[in-house]
Structure 1
Amino acid sequence: MALATATVVAVVAPVAGAADVPRGAVTVAAGVPTDRVALDRALHDVVEAGGASAVLGRVVQDGRTVWQGAAGQSDLDTGAPVRADGRFRIGSTTKTFVSTVVLQLVAEQKVKLDDPIERHLPGTVPNGANITVRQILNHTSGLYSFTSDPELGLSSPEALRAWAESDRATTYRPQDLLAMAFRHEPLFAPGTDWSYSNTNYIVAGQLVEKVTGRSWAKEVERRIIQPLGLHNTSMPSTSMAIPGPHAKGYLKFGDTRIDVTRLNPSMAGSAGAGISTTADLTRFNAALLGGRLLRPAELAEMKTPSPQALAHGVGYGLGLWRTVLPCGEFWGHDGAIPGYATMLMGDVTGRRQISYSGNPFNSSAETGRTAEALTATMACGPIAPSTPSTKLG
């Protein structure tokens, strides 16, 4: 489901609604060159646009943080400022971790991209004999997204409010999420079109579990988190807490504000349950794009958008977006889950990495404009482009 801010395609979108966000102090790392004041300003603009209570970001060049900053408040009741090193829910950015594990299994010859999913998960996916692993990873399977099903409580502002008030502790098994999706007809025949579906990555998580004998989260930890030293990254199953320092996430319905920081991440599972920091995310993406996690062959597959996606003007490969900005081509993923939205991108060399996280109330046009400007300013330097960034092939 799309989140209408910046270039986010997310697990779930924040509900729309006006919000008056108190202005918080903007913090920036010591020693930042004065031309980075534009980055400082871009963060603050997102908060001032009224669509987010807080936002934090980081720019890394050649393995060194050249700028980090934060704007807004981590707690709207106490007025505490947000910390630039805080943790946050990463939503669909989790998909890149999961896809990386699947592609490592491809390199180990335990899975083939053009295997039918039925070969590995017999009886799990309707028409699984005609849906390949590749089509699962690049969203050309045609599977309906479970996040659009009314049962999950995210399909309308009214349902989302009911979820926020009473259903945030509900535990969902992967089978429950798949059942929500499979009660709907496919959107199209496999391989004939493109549509972003969170169901695909629940299937991908189940694939990892079946092939390895361990949960997708354990495999992400074993293959990525531990080797890279991502000490502030986790893939929780049902724990509702965000460990360590973090900004609270909120939804707003008219004049009513609801704190949704604590939620059961099983609602997103392998499609979006992750927690991380900007430091960990940029380290991960640099390692991925720099060839430390995948062989050249699998990385090339990951960075090849499907023709079906390109027909929609979307540069989506296997768990990676291609975003074309005035300063070049960037690869990464974005994501959202109620109260949190994330962006992660790196240039084609892996040398320049950017990541930011916000705590959005709504998806207004002004919030989208300022998020676009923030993305461009972080990726391309202190001057934002005159035209918005797009995910193009």
Structure 2
Amino acid sequence: MKNALDHAALERAVQDVHHAGMPGLFAEVRDGDQVWRGAAGFADLATGSPVTPDMRHRVGSITKTFTAAAVLQQVESRRIALDAPIGRYLPEHAPAGGRGEAITVRMLLNHTSGLAEYLPYAYPSLKGYPVLSETGPSSLDEHRFTRFDPIELIEKGVNAPAVGAPGTTPGVYSNTNYLLLVRLLEEVTGSTAERYITRCVIERAGLRETELPSGPYVNGPHSRLYEAWSGMIDPPRDYSVYDMSWVGPSASLISTASDLNRFYGMLLAGQIVSPSSLVEMQRTVPVVSQEGKTIDYGLGLHPMTAPGQGTFWGHGGTVWGGGTLAMTRADGTRQMAVAVNLQRWNGLDSSGRPEPHPIDEALAHLYRLAMYG
């Protein structure tokens, strides 16, 4: 079978990522009824405890697929219209100057609203974000236990200079969009977004190790999360204990590799949202990512393709110190979820651009092997 799981090759690939400089990583790959789970390296550099494939992990913006699915469920219930202006639902949070009537729910979901990222305004040392050479990591420590008010974060993003006109492509990836969607969910459901997403997405998918946290700790077995901030934090510092109210239900989810594969498999099978909603989620536009790359982006989903291998759908996510990528082939037959416990490992060259690092090539090889065999 062309894409059958090669357990030995996958094991070598995760070990290669560790030997390239990643403290620890773990993964699950599925092909039909076949399942491979593997891990390499350390969950805690101080104690030497190993990572294991079943560990819980902060999965960052993978949360956006869960939030988008919750919004699409409300579209199916006719409480939300995808192409209705956000000002219709949230007049008190809508941008001024007529943009509240120009920005639609769809534009929030696919990052074409033109709304700026609030993060540099909430974290003063990140003023130049996402250009890391123009930032510093001091705010990460200052806000480790800060309990942010999501309304204040929304206001910072809405009132910041726009990064584009509503509906213009390429769009620009912005967490402000998804904080507004969280507020929209609360407005139309009469529930907190955390409670609604838990009941109607997480529990609907039968995910037993997935939750939106209410405090700064990760419950259950998990890894430390080491942040290097492109060499500005040396040695990398552990940020596994962190109040995630700075992103809330746009990027705070805790999950496992197994739960993520289960979720994306069910989503692409039309078991979380309807097939017609899934079609909308897979309708893509060009969007500039936080890394400055232009990618195709749908409604909380983005594709990855390789010639002759079909299209995979999923999402990536980062938090301070942690990263995750989960992708599932469109027909649901092949799945991958990979979690790593170091972020921003690349140093910066004299012009401020990330320098190549052996981890990059090793991770890319693992992703190719996991998805395409």
Q: What is the TM-score with the length of structure 2 in the denominator?
A: 0.87
Determine which of 377, 382, 389 is the counterpart of 2:369: 377
Structure 1 residues 86 and 65, CA gap change in structure 2 (3 angstroms): farther
1:59–1:355 contact (8 Å) kept in structure 2: yes
1:169–1:264 contact (8 Å) kept in structure 2: yes
Determine which of 205, 213, 219 is the counterpart of 2:190: 213
- Distance in 1, matches of 2:294 and 2:5, equals 37
Aligned match of 1:279: 258
Question: 2:47 matched to 1:84?
Answer: no
Determine which of 239, 246, 256 is the counterpart of 1:260: 239
Aligned match of 1:40: 11
- Distance in 2, matches of 1:141 and 1:284, equals 27
Aligned match of 1:140: 112
Determine which of 325, 333, 338 is the counterpart of 2:306: 325
Shift of residue 158 of structure 1?
8.7
Higher relative contact order (CA 8 A, sep 6+): 1
1:320–1:333 contact (8 Å) kept in structure 2: yes
Aligned match of 1:122: 91
Structure 1 residues 65 and 214, CA gap change in structure 2 (3 angstroms): farther
Number of equivalences: 345
Shift of residue 290 of structure 1?
0.6
- Distance in 1, matches of 2:331 and 2:165, equals 36
Aligned match of 1:183: 159
Aligned match of 2:352: none
5 Å-filtered alignment, 1:42-81, equals 42-50=13-21, 52-62=22-32, 64=33, 66-81=35-50
Structure 1 residues 159 and 255, CA gap change in structure 2 (3 angstroms): same
- Distance in 1, matches of 2:259 and 2:253, equals 12
- Distance in 2, matches of 1:316 and 1:143, equals 16
The letter for the 1-side match of 2:312 is: F
1:230–1:280 contact (8 Å) kept in structure 2: yes
- Distance in 2, matches of 1:230 and 1:188, equals 38
Question: 5+ residue gaps in structure 1?
Answer: 1-32, 382-393
1:256 counterpart SS class: coil
- Distance in 1, matches of 2:193 and 2:44, equals 32
Question: 2:329 matched to 1:347?
Answer: yes
CA-to-aligned-CA distance 1:2-48 (integer Å, 9 cap, x gap)? xxxxxxxxxxxxxxxxxxxxxxxxxxxxxxx9932111111122222
Question: 5+ residue gaps in structure 2?
Answer: 347-355
Question: 2:283 matched to 1:304?
Answer: yes
Question: 2:162 matched to 1:163?
Answer: no
1:232–1:276 contact (8 Å) kept in structure 2: yes
Aligned match of 2:148: 172
- Distance in 1, matches of 2:208 and 2:233, equals 38
Shift of residue 192 of structure 1?
1.3
Determine which of 165, 174, 180 is the counterpart of 1:203: 180
| Superposed CA RMSD | 2.1
